[in-house]
Structures are given as structure tokens and as C-alpha cells.
Amino acid sequence: MKIYPAIDILGGKVVRLTRGDYSTAKQYYEDPLSVALKMQEDGAKYLHVVDLDGARRGDMCNCAIIEKIAARTLLKTEVGGGIRGAEAVKTYLDAGADRVILGTAAVKNYPFTLEVNALYPGRIAVGVDARDGYVAVQGWEECTRLSGEEFCKKLAADGIYDVIYTDVACDGNMSGTNLEIYRRLVRIPGLRVTASGGVSGKDELRALRDMGADGVILGKALYEGLLDLKEVTEEFQCLQKG
């Protein structure tokens, strides 16, 4: 299983939100690059980076910082937040990102998502962020009436196989993730599921690994000391191609 420690960037700093609420932002570190290098030192092979400013505004606010992380670490970095057009996708991939995450764009401009998925096979993931089962967009501030689970089925049917699924109600709470939704999602033919939001213990990691999750994103549980990245990577991480 791939282990993705997370770096969320707001105003150039490393922060974490609770339930996607920007007003709850808690700053942990000043320099995202130093955090990424420390994660690499602790055994990480993968990294999940989100431009929170970009997610809300729809542009690449912290692009220079993210490009620096991609260039100066050996981590297979996936990048999301504010990526709305083909030029943004190309910019991050050219900078060394392993894959790009589409969220709002995947919902609001589905033909574009299909286009870039065909253009960059294996390098596009879709972030499906669900609030009460329905997809949320624009940095989770706007909720649609699109079922998260049904959207995942549509993505897989259309050849988009990499999904990062977040139950927004669990994110940042450190009180557990929604294991039941992942049990359903991993049964969708062809879908590779990365679990995100609320994972806070090794029992959950074991459950996700055993059910066949492709990866898991760890955020606040690492920053608050509930999980140790060295221990987690030693027990759970498997370096995979793609």
C-alpha cells in the first residue's frame, strides 16, 4: 500500500484544516520544503501536496513552492488544488510531479478530465471529496448533488482509474475514517482507491491494506503525533510503479 504523508499549503505555510473549514486552519511549519525533506528522511517514498489557496481561488497560488518540492526531493509527488486547465497540468508534470489531482475541474469540466487523462495516461488522479455522500468542490466550500460513489463508478467506466476519496466529515478530526465507503469503492472494477481523511491508527491502516486500498493519505495524525511516519512506512509501505 502506498503511504502518502500530506502537506497542505495555505499562504505559503504548512497547515491542516478540520472538515475542510478554512477558518480552522492550524499552522504547523513555515517551510513546506523542509517538511517534505524530513518526510523523505523518515522513509516516505510518496507525497501528497495540496495548494489550499489554489483550491479555493482556482489558480496555482503556491506553484513555486510545489515545484521546489518536486525538484529537490526524490518523492513521487502528487499535486492538487486549483488545477483547472491543461497548462496547469503540464506545468506540474514538467516540474517533476508524479501525478496531478483534479477535483473541481473533474466535476465541472468532465470532458477536460477525459482529455488530459488520455494525454497523460497513469498521471491523472481525481480527488472525490464527499460531504454527506455528495461531491464537494471549490476547496470543499460548494456541495453538489452528485453522489461520490456513483461518480467513482463513472470515472472507472470511462478509464479514469485513480481516485483519492475523502469523507470531508472525517478529515482532520483524528477520530477515524469512513472504512465502509472504502469497502464499497474497492469493489468497483478497475478502480484504484486512495483513502483520505481521518485515518489515525494502525488498525485502520491494516484494514485499508487488507481490503485492497491502493494508498492512504496521512495528515493531522502525523502532525499531532498519533502516528509515526517511520513506523508506518516500515510496516505498510510498498513502493509500486505508477
What totals of helices (H) and strands (E) does the chain contain, helices first? 11, 12
Q: Is 171 a catalytic residue?
A: no
Q: Is 8 a catalytic residue?
A: yes
Pick the closest to residue 98 from 26, 47, 56 (CA basis): 47
Question: What is the distance between the alpha carbons of residues 25 and 231, in angstroms, rounded to a whole number?
Answer: 27
- Give, in order, the Cα–Cα distances in Å from 47 to each of 35, 141, 154, 171, 211: 11, 24, 26, 17, 22
List the grid coordinates of 19.
472538515
Residues 6+ apart with CB under 8 A from 125: 78, 80, 99, 100, 101, 102, 162, 163, 164, 194
Question: What is the distance between the alpha carbons of residues 17 and 9, in angstroms, rounded to a whole number?
Answer: 10
Give exposure, 184-214, as e/b (b: 16+ Cβ within 10 Å). Answer: ebbebeebbbbbbbbbbeeebbebbeebebb
Question: What is the distance between the alpha carbons of residues 20 and 194, in angstroms, rounded to a whole number?
Answer: 18
Pick the closest to residue 10 from 41, 68, 49 (CA basis): 49
Which candidate in 51, 53, 98, 129 is catalytic?
129
Show which residues are catalytic.
Answer: 8, 129
